[in-house]
Amino acid sequence: MKIAYLMNQYPYPSCTFIRREIAELEACGIPISRFSIRYPDLPIKDDADRLELTKTRFILTESPFKLLFSMLWSFLTRPLAFWRTLQLTFKIGWKSDRGTIVNLVYFAEACLLLRWLLKLQVEHVHAHFASNPAAVALLCHSLGGPQYSFTVHGPNEFDRPQAISLPEKIRQAAFVLGISSFTKSQLFRWCDYTNWAKIHIVHCGVDKLFLNQPFVQLPQEPCFVCVGRLSEQKGHLILVEAANQLALEGLQFKIVLVGDGPFRQKIEDLIVQFHLENYIEITGWATNLEVQQHILKAQVMVLPSFAEGLPVGIMEAFALSRPVISTYIAGIPELVEPGVCGWLVPSGSIEALANAMRSAIDTPVERLTEMGKAGYQRVLKDYSITTETQKLLALFEKYYPSISVEKN
Protein backbone atom coordinates (compact mmCIF):
# COMPACT_ATOMS: atom_id res chain seq x y z
CA MET A 1 0.00 0.00 0.00
CA LYS A 2 1.30 3.48 -0.90
CA ILE A 3 0.56 6.31 1.52
CA ALA A 4 1.15 10.05 1.12
CA TYR A 5 1.73 12.42 4.02
CA LEU A 6 0.56 16.00 3.55
CA MET A 7 1.65 18.91 5.74
CA ASN A 8 1.52 22.72 5.59
CA GLN A 9 5.28 23.17 6.04
CA TYR A 10 7.57 20.19 6.21
CA PRO A 11 10.07 19.56 7.63
CA TYR A 12 9.65 22.08 10.43
CA PRO A 13 11.77 22.53 13.62
CA SER A 14 8.83 22.22 16.03
CA CYS A 15 7.20 19.26 14.24
CA THR A 16 9.89 16.58 14.41
CA PHE A 17 7.23 14.14 15.70
CA ILE A 18 5.88 13.90 12.13
CA ARG A 19 9.31 12.88 10.84
CA ARG A 20 9.53 10.18 13.54
CA GLU A 21 6.12 8.81 12.61
CA ILE A 22 7.02 8.62 8.92
CA ALA A 23 10.34 6.91 9.69
CA GLU A 24 8.63 4.26 11.83
CA LEU A 25 6.04 3.55 9.15
CA GLU A 26 8.76 3.12 6.55
CA ALA A 27 10.65 0.82 8.91
CA CYS A 28 7.52 -1.35 8.92
CA GLY A 29 7.58 -1.60 5.13
CA ILE A 30 5.03 1.13 4.25
CA PRO A 31 6.29 3.40 1.45
CA ILE A 32 5.56 7.06 2.25
CA SER A 33 5.48 9.95 -0.24
CA ARG A 34 5.93 13.34 1.42
CA PHE A 35 4.08 16.45 0.26
CA SER A 36 4.11 19.92 1.76
CA ILE A 37 1.98 22.86 0.73
CA ARG A 38 4.71 25.38 1.51
CA TYR A 39 8.47 25.32 1.68
CA PRO A 40 9.69 25.77 5.30
CA ASP A 41 10.12 29.41 6.27
CA LEU A 42 12.61 28.62 9.03
CA PRO A 43 16.21 27.42 8.72
CA ILE A 44 16.62 23.63 8.82
CA LYS A 45 19.29 22.76 11.41
CA ASP A 46 18.77 19.06 12.02
CA ASP A 47 20.52 16.67 9.59
CA ALA A 48 17.50 14.36 9.64
CA ASP A 49 15.27 17.28 8.61
CA ARG A 50 17.68 18.22 5.82
CA LEU A 51 17.34 14.68 4.49
CA GLU A 52 13.54 14.93 4.69
CA LEU A 53 13.73 18.16 2.69
CA THR A 54 15.19 16.23 -0.24
CA LYS A 55 12.35 13.67 -0.08
CA THR A 56 9.50 16.21 0.02
CA ARG A 57 7.63 17.74 -2.89
CA PHE A 58 6.28 21.26 -2.40
CA ILE A 59 3.04 22.39 -4.01
CA LEU A 60 3.51 26.17 -3.86
CA THR A 61 7.02 26.09 -5.28
CA GLU A 62 5.44 25.05 -8.57
CA SER A 63 4.59 27.78 -11.07
CA PRO A 64 1.07 29.30 -11.16
CA PHE A 65 0.85 27.91 -14.68
CA LYS A 66 1.08 24.35 -13.33
CA LEU A 67 -1.69 25.05 -10.83
CA LEU A 68 -3.93 26.47 -13.58
CA PHE A 69 -3.08 23.60 -15.90
CA SER A 70 -3.98 21.11 -13.15
CA MET A 71 -7.37 22.78 -12.72
CA LEU A 72 -7.99 22.58 -16.47
CA TRP A 73 -6.89 18.94 -16.50
CA SER A 74 -9.29 18.15 -13.63
CA PHE A 75 -12.15 19.89 -15.44
CA LEU A 76 -11.53 17.99 -18.70
CA THR A 77 -10.94 14.55 -17.19
CA ARG A 78 -13.56 14.56 -14.42
CA PRO A 79 -16.06 17.39 -15.01
CA LEU A 80 -18.73 16.18 -12.56
CA ALA A 81 -16.22 15.80 -9.74
CA PHE A 82 -14.72 19.17 -10.68
CA TRP A 83 -18.04 21.03 -10.29
CA ARG A 84 -18.96 19.08 -7.16
CA THR A 85 -15.64 19.98 -5.56
CA LEU A 86 -15.88 23.60 -6.65
CA GLN A 87 -19.25 23.79 -4.88
CA LEU A 88 -17.67 22.23 -1.79
CA THR A 89 -14.88 24.81 -1.97
CA PHE A 90 -17.38 27.66 -1.93
CA LYS A 91 -19.32 25.98 0.89
CA ILE A 92 -16.31 25.79 3.19
CA GLY A 93 -15.00 29.13 1.92
CA TRP A 94 -18.08 31.07 3.06
CA LYS A 95 -17.53 29.86 6.63
CA SER A 96 -13.78 30.27 6.57
CA ASP A 97 -11.89 33.05 8.32
CA ARG A 98 -9.42 32.85 5.41
CA GLY A 99 -12.09 33.72 2.84
CA THR A 100 -13.29 32.14 -0.39
CA ILE A 101 -10.26 33.26 -2.45
CA VAL A 102 -7.85 31.37 -0.21
CA ASN A 103 -10.04 28.28 -0.38
CA LEU A 104 -10.01 28.50 -4.17
CA VAL A 105 -6.24 28.35 -3.91
CA TYR A 106 -6.68 25.18 -1.84
CA PHE A 107 -8.84 23.87 -4.69
CA ALA A 108 -6.04 24.53 -7.20
CA GLU A 109 -3.54 22.87 -4.86
CA ALA A 110 -5.82 19.84 -4.62
CA CYS A 111 -5.97 19.57 -8.43
CA LEU A 112 -2.16 19.55 -8.65
CA LEU A 113 -1.83 17.11 -5.75
CA LEU A 114 -4.33 14.78 -7.42
CA ARG A 115 -2.16 14.54 -10.55
CA TRP A 116 0.89 13.70 -8.45
CA LEU A 117 -0.96 11.09 -6.38
CA LEU A 118 -2.35 9.34 -9.45
CA LYS A 119 1.10 9.11 -11.02
CA LEU A 120 2.48 7.57 -7.84
CA GLN A 121 -0.57 5.31 -7.41
CA VAL A 122 -1.04 6.55 -3.85
CA GLU A 123 -3.95 4.82 -2.13
CA HIS A 124 -4.34 6.97 1.00
CA VAL A 125 -3.43 10.48 2.15
CA HIS A 126 -2.73 11.31 5.77
CA ALA A 127 -2.62 15.00 6.70
CA HIS A 128 -1.14 16.47 9.86
CA PHE A 129 -3.19 19.32 11.35
CA ALA A 130 -6.86 20.02 10.61
CA SER A 131 -6.27 23.35 8.88
CA ASN A 132 -5.18 23.73 5.25
CA PRO A 133 -3.53 20.26 4.88
CA ALA A 134 -6.81 18.57 5.78
CA ALA A 135 -8.69 21.00 3.50
CA VAL A 136 -6.51 20.12 0.51
CA ALA A 137 -6.81 16.40 1.31
CA LEU A 138 -10.62 16.76 1.50
CA LEU A 139 -10.85 18.58 -1.85
CA CYS A 140 -8.45 16.15 -3.50
CA HIS A 141 -10.63 13.25 -2.34
CA SER A 142 -13.75 15.01 -3.63
CA LEU A 143 -12.07 15.32 -7.04
CA GLY A 144 -11.76 11.55 -7.16
CA GLY A 145 -8.50 11.16 -5.30
CA PRO A 146 -7.70 8.65 -2.57
CA GLN A 147 -9.36 8.44 0.83
CA TYR A 148 -7.79 10.58 3.53
CA SER A 149 -7.29 10.78 7.27
CA PHE A 150 -5.80 13.50 9.42
CA THR A 151 -4.26 14.08 12.82
CA VAL A 152 -5.58 16.90 15.00
CA HIS A 153 -3.09 18.39 17.45
CA GLY A 154 -4.69 21.50 18.88
CA PRO A 155 -5.00 24.03 20.26
CA ASN A 156 -5.46 26.20 17.15
CA GLU A 157 -7.89 23.81 15.49
CA PHE A 158 -10.24 24.17 18.48
CA ASP A 159 -10.07 27.97 18.45
CA ARG A 160 -12.04 28.08 15.17
CA PRO A 161 -13.54 24.68 14.36
CA GLN A 162 -16.38 26.02 12.22
CA ALA A 163 -14.08 28.41 10.35
CA ILE A 164 -11.87 25.50 9.22
CA SER A 165 -14.93 23.28 8.47
CA LEU A 166 -13.79 20.69 10.98
CA PRO A 167 -17.18 18.87 11.01
CA GLU A 168 -17.10 18.42 7.21
CA LYS A 169 -13.51 17.21 7.25
CA ILE A 170 -14.35 14.63 9.90
CA ARG A 171 -17.50 13.51 8.08
CA GLN A 172 -15.68 12.74 4.83
CA ALA A 173 -12.48 11.29 6.33
CA ALA A 174 -11.79 7.56 6.54
CA PHE A 175 -10.64 8.12 10.12
CA VAL A 176 -9.38 10.93 12.33
CA LEU A 177 -6.64 10.91 14.96
CA GLY A 178 -6.39 12.94 18.14
CA ILE A 179 -3.16 13.08 20.12
CA SER A 180 -4.83 12.81 23.54
CA SER A 181 -8.13 11.96 25.21
CA PHE A 182 -8.76 15.68 25.53
CA THR A 183 -8.27 16.12 21.78
CA LYS A 184 -10.64 13.24 21.10
CA SER A 185 -13.29 14.81 23.32
CA GLN A 186 -13.04 18.11 21.42
CA LEU A 187 -13.48 16.27 18.13
CA PHE A 188 -16.59 14.64 19.59
CA ARG A 189 -17.93 18.16 20.19
CA TRP A 190 -17.61 19.11 16.54
CA CYS A 191 -18.98 16.12 14.70
CA ASP A 192 -22.16 14.09 14.62
CA TYR A 193 -22.40 11.15 17.00
CA THR A 194 -22.50 8.80 14.01
CA ASN A 195 -18.90 9.80 13.23
CA TRP A 196 -17.52 9.20 16.72
CA ALA A 197 -16.41 5.65 15.88
CA LYS A 198 -13.91 6.91 13.30
CA ILE A 199 -12.04 9.07 15.86
CA HIS A 200 -9.04 7.42 17.52
CA ILE A 201 -6.15 8.36 19.78
CA VAL A 202 -2.58 8.05 18.51
CA HIS A 203 -0.11 9.98 20.63
CA CYS A 204 2.89 11.79 19.23
CA GLY A 205 5.63 9.26 19.87
CA VAL A 206 8.92 9.94 21.63
CA ASP A 207 12.07 9.52 19.56
CA LYS A 208 14.31 6.54 20.30
CA LEU A 209 17.13 9.08 20.67
CA PHE A 210 15.44 10.02 23.96
CA LEU A 211 13.97 6.72 25.15
CA ASN A 212 17.14 4.70 24.51
CA GLN A 213 19.39 7.17 26.32
CA PRO A 214 21.15 5.70 29.40
CA PHE A 215 20.15 7.43 32.62
CA VAL A 216 22.15 10.60 33.30
CA GLN A 217 22.29 11.92 36.86
CA LEU A 218 20.47 15.15 37.55
CA PRO A 219 22.78 18.14 38.15
CA GLN A 220 23.16 19.39 41.71
CA GLU A 221 22.46 23.04 40.89
CA PRO A 222 18.84 24.15 40.28
CA CYS A 223 18.28 24.44 36.53
CA PHE A 224 14.99 24.50 34.60
CA VAL A 225 14.59 23.89 30.88
CA CYS A 226 11.63 24.99 28.77
CA VAL A 227 11.41 23.43 25.28
CA GLY A 228 8.90 24.94 22.89
CA ARG A 229 8.18 27.54 20.25
CA LEU A 230 8.36 31.07 21.64
CA SER A 231 4.71 31.91 21.07
CA GLU A 232 1.83 33.34 23.08
CA GLN A 233 0.33 29.94 23.92
CA LYS A 234 3.42 28.56 25.70
CA GLY A 235 3.29 31.06 28.58
CA HIS A 236 6.92 32.18 28.52
CA LEU A 237 6.09 35.66 29.82
CA ILE A 238 4.44 34.09 32.89
CA LEU A 239 7.62 32.06 33.38
CA VAL A 240 9.75 35.21 33.31
CA GLU A 241 7.41 36.88 35.84
CA ALA A 242 7.67 33.84 38.15
CA ALA A 243 11.46 33.85 37.77
CA ASN A 244 11.51 37.49 38.81
CA GLN A 245 9.65 36.64 42.03
CA LEU A 246 12.12 33.89 42.86
CA ALA A 247 15.13 36.07 42.04
CA LEU A 248 13.81 38.84 44.33
CA GLU A 249 13.68 36.23 47.12
CA GLY A 250 17.39 35.65 46.62
CA LEU A 251 17.06 32.13 45.17
CA GLN A 252 19.76 30.95 42.78
CA PHE A 253 18.67 29.06 39.65
CA LYS A 254 18.98 28.96 35.86
CA ILE A 255 16.26 28.76 33.18
CA VAL A 256 17.12 27.73 29.61
CA LEU A 257 14.49 28.47 26.94
CA VAL A 258 15.06 26.12 24.00
CA GLY A 259 13.32 27.33 20.87
CA ASP A 260 12.50 30.45 18.90
CA GLY A 261 9.44 32.19 17.56
CA PRO A 262 7.43 35.40 17.28
CA PHE A 263 7.47 36.16 21.03
CA ARG A 264 11.25 36.13 21.37
CA GLN A 265 11.65 39.92 21.40
CA LYS A 266 8.90 40.37 24.01
CA ILE A 267 10.51 37.72 26.20
CA GLU A 268 13.96 39.28 25.83
CA ASP A 269 12.57 42.73 26.66
CA LEU A 270 10.96 41.41 29.87
CA ILE A 271 14.17 39.64 30.86
CA VAL A 272 16.05 42.93 30.52
CA GLN A 273 13.31 44.84 32.36
CA PHE A 274 13.62 42.50 35.37
CA HIS A 275 17.43 42.28 35.12
CA LEU A 276 17.28 38.51 34.73
CA GLU A 277 20.06 38.16 32.15
CA ASN A 278 22.06 35.98 34.56
CA TYR A 279 19.05 33.76 35.24
CA ILE A 280 17.47 33.13 31.82
CA GLU A 281 19.08 32.05 28.54
CA ILE A 282 17.41 31.67 25.12
CA THR A 283 19.12 29.18 22.78
CA GLY A 284 17.10 29.62 19.58
CA TRP A 285 16.11 26.66 17.41
CA ALA A 286 17.89 23.44 18.33
CA THR A 287 18.44 20.04 16.76
CA ASN A 288 17.07 16.89 18.38
CA LEU A 289 20.47 16.15 19.86
CA GLU A 290 20.81 19.69 21.20
CA VAL A 291 17.35 19.50 22.79
CA GLN A 292 18.36 16.24 24.44
CA GLN A 293 21.53 17.76 25.87
CA HIS A 294 19.71 20.83 27.21
CA ILE A 295 17.19 18.60 29.01
CA LEU A 296 19.95 16.43 30.47
CA LYS A 297 21.68 19.52 31.88
CA ALA A 298 18.49 20.52 33.72
CA GLN A 299 16.87 19.23 36.90
CA VAL A 300 13.29 20.01 35.84
CA MET A 301 11.32 20.78 32.68
CA VAL A 302 8.90 23.71 33.03
CA LEU A 303 6.16 24.47 30.49
CA PRO A 304 3.54 26.99 31.72
CA SER A 305 1.28 26.73 28.65
CA PHE A 306 -2.00 28.59 28.16
CA ALA A 307 -3.15 26.29 25.34
CA GLU A 308 -1.88 22.92 24.14
CA GLY A 309 -2.59 19.57 22.60
CA LEU A 310 -0.12 17.37 24.46
CA PRO A 311 3.44 18.78 24.36
CA VAL A 312 6.13 16.50 22.97
CA GLY A 313 8.64 18.41 25.12
CA ILE A 314 7.05 16.94 28.26
CA MET A 315 7.35 13.43 26.84
CA GLU A 316 11.00 14.04 25.97
CA ALA A 317 11.74 15.30 29.48
CA PHE A 318 10.15 12.19 31.00
CA ALA A 319 12.03 9.98 28.52
CA LEU A 320 15.23 11.46 29.98
CA SER A 321 13.96 11.00 33.56
CA ARG A 322 13.37 14.69 34.33
CA PRO A 323 10.27 15.73 36.32
CA VAL A 324 7.96 18.35 34.84
CA ILE A 325 6.17 21.50 35.97
CA SER A 326 3.21 22.34 33.74
CA THR A 327 -0.41 23.46 33.74
CA TYR A 328 -3.87 21.90 34.20
CA ILE A 329 -4.90 22.23 30.55
CA ALA A 330 -5.76 20.03 27.57
CA GLY A 331 -4.02 16.65 27.56
CA ILE A 332 -1.24 17.56 30.00
CA PRO A 333 -2.95 16.02 33.10
CA GLU A 334 -3.13 12.73 31.17
CA LEU A 335 0.65 12.58 31.38
CA VAL A 336 1.79 14.64 34.39
CA GLU A 337 0.57 13.41 37.79
CA PRO A 338 1.22 15.90 40.60
CA GLY A 339 3.43 14.55 43.37
CA VAL A 340 4.36 11.49 41.31
CA CYS A 341 6.29 12.80 38.31
CA GLY A 342 5.96 16.56 38.61
CA TRP A 343 3.78 19.55 39.46
CA LEU A 344 0.65 20.97 37.83
CA VAL A 345 -0.47 24.56 38.36
CA PRO A 346 -3.43 26.66 37.16
CA SER A 347 -2.65 28.18 33.78
CA GLY A 348 -1.92 31.89 33.93
CA SER A 349 -1.07 31.99 37.66
CA ILE A 350 2.33 33.58 38.27
CA GLU A 351 2.08 32.86 41.99
CA ALA A 352 1.27 29.16 41.54
CA LEU A 353 4.06 28.72 39.01
CA ALA A 354 6.56 30.45 41.28
CA ASN A 355 5.44 28.22 44.17
CA ALA A 356 5.95 25.07 42.10
CA MET A 357 9.39 26.22 40.94
CA ARG A 358 10.33 27.10 44.52
CA SER A 359 9.19 23.65 45.60
CA ALA A 360 11.33 22.05 42.89
CA ILE A 361 14.35 24.08 43.97
CA ASP A 362 13.82 22.96 47.59
CA THR A 363 13.30 19.28 46.66
CA PRO A 364 16.36 17.04 47.17
CA VAL A 365 17.95 15.75 43.96
CA GLU A 366 17.22 12.18 45.07
CA ARG A 367 13.48 12.91 45.17
CA LEU A 368 13.58 14.74 41.84
CA THR A 369 15.29 11.67 40.39
CA GLU A 370 12.50 9.40 41.66
CA MET A 371 9.89 11.68 40.09
CA GLY A 372 11.75 11.77 36.79
CA LYS A 373 12.00 7.98 36.68
CA ALA A 374 8.25 7.72 37.34
CA GLY A 375 7.72 9.93 34.31
CA TYR A 376 10.02 7.72 32.27
CA GLN A 377 7.88 4.66 33.04
CA ARG A 378 4.76 6.51 31.84
CA VAL A 379 6.32 7.50 28.53
CA LEU A 380 7.85 4.07 27.98
CA LYS A 381 4.45 2.44 28.42
CA ASP A 382 2.19 4.75 26.41
CA TYR A 383 4.17 7.25 24.33
CA SER A 384 7.02 5.50 22.51
CA ILE A 385 7.10 6.06 18.76
CA THR A 386 7.09 2.30 18.19
CA THR A 387 3.94 1.74 20.26
CA GLU A 388 2.08 4.65 18.68
CA THR A 389 3.04 3.65 15.14
CA GLN A 390 1.66 0.17 15.75
CA LYS A 391 -1.68 1.81 16.65
CA LEU A 392 -1.59 3.72 13.38
CA LEU A 393 -0.74 0.58 11.44
CA ALA A 394 -3.68 -1.20 13.06
CA LEU A 395 -5.97 1.55 11.73
CA PHE A 396 -4.56 1.24 8.22
CA GLU A 397 -5.16 -2.53 8.42
CA LYS A 398 -8.72 -1.95 9.64
CA TYR A 399 -9.63 0.40 6.81
CA TYR A 400 -7.48 -1.32 4.19
CA PRO A 401 -7.60 -5.08 4.93
CA SER A 402 -5.24 -5.89 2.05
CA ILE A 403 -2.40 -3.90 3.58
CA SER A 404 0.78 -5.88 4.26
CA VAL A 405 3.20 -4.60 6.89
CA GLU A 406 6.27 -5.90 8.62
CA LYS A 407 5.47 -5.63 12.32
CA ASN A 408 8.40 -5.30 14.69
- Using DSSP's 3-state secondary structure scheme, residue 336 falls into coil
pLDDT of res. 181: 96
Question: Rounded to an integer, what distance in angstroms lies between the CA atom of residue 3 and that of residue 363?
Answer: 49
Q: Is 405 exposed, middle or buried (0-12, 13-18, 19+ CB in 10 A)?
A: middle
CATH of domain 208-382: 3.40.50.2000
pLDDT of res. 407: 44
What are residue 206's DSSP bridge partners?
384
Cis previous bond, 155, omega within 30: yes
Question: Rounded to an integer, what distance in angstroms lies between the CA atom of residue 390 and that of residue 285?
Answer: 30
What are residue 56's DSSP bridge partners?
34
| 3-205+384-399: CATH superfamily | Glycogen Phosphorylase B; (3.40.50.2000)
pLDDT of res. 212: 87
Q: Rounded to the nearest 10 degrees, what angle do helices 79-95 and 64-77 cross at?
A: 120
For residues 294 and 227, the answer to whether their CB atoms sit within 8 Å is: yes
| Prediction pTM value | 0.92
The residue type of 194 is T
Domain 3-205+384-399 identical in fold to domain 208-382: yes
Question: Rounded to an integer, what distance in angstroms lies between the CA atom of residue 402 and that of residue 300?
Answer: 46
For residues 299 and 322, the answer to whether their CB atoms sit within 8 Å is: yes
Q: In the chain, where are the structural domains located?
A: 3-205+384-399, 208-382
Average pLDDT by stretches of 10, the chain with 408 residues: 95 90 94 97 89 97 97 98 97 88 97 98 96 97 97 91 95 97 96 96 90 93 96 96 98 97 97 98 93 97 94 95 97 96 98 98 98 96 92 90 55
Size of the chain in residues = 408
Q: Is 97 exposed, middle or buried (0-12, 13-18, 19+ CB in 10 A)?
A: exposed
